[in-house]
């Protein structure tokens, strides 16, 4: 996207935010530049993008700008990117499968990736957080990726992939049960023992802790909300925008285009309808206040209506139930103390 188009998109986005009731003075804005191809852009361009974002959103209480990309770049470029984004770099990891390749070779991809992870560790004493997409095909490597993250002491986020978007079959009930057992056993191994943040367990734990009151703020974030219309937006290079990256990947519920100024209120109405219907659909669930019916994108990906609850309901239910059990075993203060030690 050209800098001129970005500037125009920021203006349209601010109009949209105003109409959605966002109060800039009380809002911290988080901006994440996303995509493997970002590493091919010049550092000058990335610097100008960052400057435009800062200038465009000056009325906000604060703005945090980061980047999520692969680490396939020279160490000199990595240094520039690291400094430009104050270390706010996230990446996706794949230490065991052949899904990611550089010049046709997964070995080469891993070599450059690991060399750059090591470079950041040596140069800045920092460990980059990674996310791992869990699918029917990649499920077998989850435990190994978690062990490696523990060993290398970097945060890890497990994300169940939108199966149709990544060209795989939706989990069968048998596979989902297997994944649920795996998640529960990983949670047991992580809680009060690990030294690294492991998502989605940490934010699920935070949700439960926040419901107990005290010093933790109530916490609202994807992929578990019944207020998709109030979470944020994801903008594509052509100006198309959606509530989130998940919906952008699926090309569902497009809000409009920030370059042409086109806006469709239908997704907002649908999301508000979902908020009301999920409250009824999940009303008897013990975990509703934490889970909020899960994620609309997963429902859409599985071919369900946007108002349907998350098709991974049984997985969320099992994890939240285990968290409740664990919260009964430890004092809240002890848990908070442990959380503060996580990398």
- Least separation in angstroms between residue 163's CB and ligand SF4 is 14
- Least separation in angstroms between residue 295's CB and ligand SF4 is 3
Please report, to the nearest 10 degrees, the dihedral formed by the alpha carbons of residues 188, 193, 196, 199 taken in order: 20
Residues 310, 322, 323, 335: which binds ligand SF4 (CB under 6 A)?
310
275 binds ligand SF4 (CB under 6 A): no
157 binds ligand SF4 (CB under 6 A): no
Residue 62 parent element (H or E): strand 62-68
Residues 157, 207, 208, 309: which binds ligand SF4 (CB under 6 A)?
309
Per-residue x/- mask for ligand SF4, residues 108 to 137, rule CB under 6 A?
A: ------------------------------
- Least separation in angstroms between residue 19's CB and ligand SF4 is 18
In 3D space, the residue among 159, 168, 187 whose CA is nearest the CA of residue 320 turns out to be 187
- Least separation in angstroms between residue 248's CB and ligand SF4 is 9
In 3D space, the residue among 293, 322, 317, 314 whose CA is nearest the CA of residue 175 turns out to be 314
* Of 112-120, 133-141, 258-266, 288-296: span binding ligand SF4 (CB under 6 A): 288-296
- Supply 192's token pair: 């009060």
Residues 158, 235, 296, 308: which binds ligand SF4 (CB under 6 A)?
296
Residues 146, 233, 268, 282: which binds ligand SF4 (CB under 6 A)?
282
Tell whether the torsion through CA atoms of 78, 28, 246 and 7 is positive or negative.
negative
Residues 88, 225, 257, 307: which binds ligand SF4 (CB under 6 A)?
225
Q: Which of residues 12-71 bind ligand SF4 (CB under 6 A)?
A: none
From the CB of residue 204, how many other CB atoms can be counted at a distance below 10 Å?
21
158 binds ligand SF4 (CB under 6 A): no
Do 192 and 330 touch, CB atoms closer than 8 A? yes
DSSP state of 216: S
Q: Are strands 256-257 and 262-263 parallel, antiparallel or unpaired?
A: antiparallel
* Of 81-89, 95-103, 137-145, 292-300: span binding ligand SF4 (CB under 6 A): 292-300
C-alpha span between 77 and 240 (Å, rounded): 29
> Smaller CB distance to ligand SF4: residue 6 or 295?
295
> Smaller CB distance to ligand SF4: residue 84 or 326?
326
288 binds ligand SF4 (CB under 6 A): yes
> Smaller CB distance to ligand SF4: residue 82 or 243?
243
Helical spans, DSSP H, in the chain: 3-19, 43-56, 75-84, 106-124, 142-152, 173-190, 201-211, 245-250, 266-281, 288-291, 296-301, 313-329, 332-340
- Residue labelled with tokens 């957080």: 129
Q: Which of residues 230-249 bind ligand SF4 (CB under 6 A)?
A: 231, 243-244, 246-247
- Least separation in angstroms between residue 312's CB and ligand SF4 is 8
Q: How far is CA 81 from CA 65, 86, 120, in A?
A: 12, 8, 11
Any idea how long the chain is? 343
317 binds ligand SF4 (CB under 6 A): yes
| Binding site residues, ligand SF4, CB under 6 A | 222-223, 225, 228, 231, 243-244, 246-247, 282, 285, 287-288, 291, 293-297, 309-310, 313, 316-317
């Amino acid at each position: 996207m050209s800098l001129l188009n970005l500037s125009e998109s920021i203006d349209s986005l601010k109009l949209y935010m105003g109409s959605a009731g966002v109060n800039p003075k009380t809002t911290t804005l988080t901006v994440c530049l996303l995509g493997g191809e970002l590493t091919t852009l010049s550092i000058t361009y990335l610097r100008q993008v960052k400057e435009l974002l800062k200038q465009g959103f000056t009325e906000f209480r604060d703005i945090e700008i980061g980047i999520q990309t692969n680490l396939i770049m020279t160490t000199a470029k990595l240094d520039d990117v690291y400094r430009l984004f104050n270390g706010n770099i996230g990446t996706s990891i794949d230490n065991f499968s052949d899904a990611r390749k550089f010049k046709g070779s997964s070995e080469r991809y891993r070599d450059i990736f690991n060399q750059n992870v090591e470079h950041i560790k040596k140069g800045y004493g920092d460990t980059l957080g990674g996310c791992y997409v869990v699918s029917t095909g990649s499920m077998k490597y989850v435990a190994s990726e978690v062990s490696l993250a523990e060993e290398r002491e970097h945060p890890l986020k497990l994300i169940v992939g939108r199966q149709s978007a990544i060209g795989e079959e939706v989990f069968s009930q048998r596979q989902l049960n297997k994944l649920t057992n795996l998640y529960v056993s990983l949670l047991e191994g992580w809680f009060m023992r690990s030294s690294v943040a492991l998502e989605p367990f940490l934010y699920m734990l935070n949700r439960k802790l926040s419901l107990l009151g005290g010093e933790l703020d109530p916490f609202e974030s994807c992929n578990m909300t019944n207020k998709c219309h109030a979470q944020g937006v994801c903008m594509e290079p052509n100006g198309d925008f959606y509530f989130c990256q998940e919906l952008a990947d699926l090309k569902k519920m497009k809000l409009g285009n920030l370059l042409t100024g086109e806006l469709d209120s239908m997704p907002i109405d649908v999301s508000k309808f979902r908020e009301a219907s999920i409250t009824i659909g999940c009303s008897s669930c013990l975990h509703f206040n934490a889970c909020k019916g899960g994620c609309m994108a997963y429902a859409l990906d599985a071919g369900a209506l946007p108002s349907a609850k998350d098709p991974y309901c049984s997985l969320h239910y099992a994890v939240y139930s285990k968290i409740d059990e664990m919260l009964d075993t430890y004092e809240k203060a002890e848990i908070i103390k442990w959380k503060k030690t996580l990398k």
